[in-house]
Structure 1
Amino acid sequence: MKNAQLMSLGDMTVYSPGVLVQHVEKIADPETACPVELIEFRLDPFAVSTPHSHPSHEIWRITSGHGRVITDDGELVVTAGDLVFLQPDRTHHLENCGSDVLSALSISWKEAR
């Protein structure tokens, strides 16, 4: 069955103190390319991710906890269930404002030219 395939996650790695990420490693069929990058990440209570930017569009689905998305033009309060769209090439980071783990799924892609 090639129209639906299982994907696997790699090992959980430390991105910065209190921030763990897990990338999608592969699709079952090695000839199938995934057009997006998928990452699951979590921030320990009161942890802050490292500010960064990249040339990809990104959507975060906040799956647990609450915090703030901080960008060059302000901040956005987020909680479990929220979807956040991030523009490419803009500095951003996430801050966990609570005593529970903040976790999210990130989907990013580069716009086709």
Structure 2
Amino acid sequence: MKNAQLMTLGDVTVYSPGVLVQDVKGINDPEITIPVEFIEFRLDPLAVSTPHSHPSTEIWRITSGRGQVVTDDGELAVEAGDLVFLRPNQTHHLRNSGSEVLSAFSISWKQTQ
């Protein structure tokens, strides 16, 4: 079957403190490359992540806490349950403005040909 395939998660990589990244891989077919990563992150109360950019598009699902997504064009208030779309190659970071851990699950992908 070419249009649907079972996938598996690769090894967990610690990207930075509180940020875990996992590649998505095809099962039993080393030729299959999947341009997607799953990312989980946690920011302690009042913490700020490091500003960065990357060629991947991301969608974050905020799973706990509240804070602000900061980009070059402003700030976006977020809280548990929100979905955030981040465009590729744009500098962004996250600020936890609450008294509980701000956590999120992200799916990140690169443009394919």
User: 1:9·1:26 contact (CA, 8 Å) conserved in 2?
Assistant: no
CA gap 1:83/1:26 in 2 versus in 1, 3 angstroms: closer
AA matched with 2:104: A
1:71 matched residue in structure 2: 71
1:50 matched residue in structure 2: 50
TM-score, normalised by the number of residues in structure 2: 0.81
Identity of aligned residues (%): 57
1:7 matched residue in structure 2: 9
AA matched with 1:7: L
Q: What is the number of residues matched between the two proteins?
A: 108
CA gap 1:54/1:67 in 2 versus in 1, 3 angstroms: same
CA gap 1:58/1:26 in 2 versus in 1, 3 angstroms: closer
CA gap 1:80/1:9 in 2 versus in 1, 3 angstroms: farther
Residue of 17, 20, 28 corresponding to 2:18: 20
2:105 matched residue in structure 1: 105
AA matched with 2:97: C
- How much has 1:100 moved relative to structure 2? 0.3
RMSD: 2.2
**Following the alignment from structure 1 to structure 2, what is the Cα–Cα distance between the partners of residues 9 and 105?**
17
Q: Secondary structure of 1:35's partner?
A: strand
User: 1:59·1:85 contact (CA, 8 Å) conserved in 2?
Assistant: yes
Q: Please state which structure has a larger fraction of its residues in strand.
A: 2
Structure 2: which 5+ residue stretches go unaligned?
none
User: 1:9·1:22 contact (CA, 8 Å) conserved in 2?
Assistant: no
- How much has 1:35 moved relative to structure 2? 3.0
User: 1:20·1:43 contact (CA, 8 Å) conserved in 2?
Assistant: yes
**Following the alignment from structure 2 to structure 1, what is the Cα–Cα distance between the partners of residues 65 and 40?**
14
**Following the alignment from structure 1 to structure 2, what is the Cα–Cα distance between the partners of residues 7 and 102?**
24
TM-score, normalised by the number of residues in structure 1: 0.81
For the pair 1:61 / 2:87, whether they are aligned, the reply is no
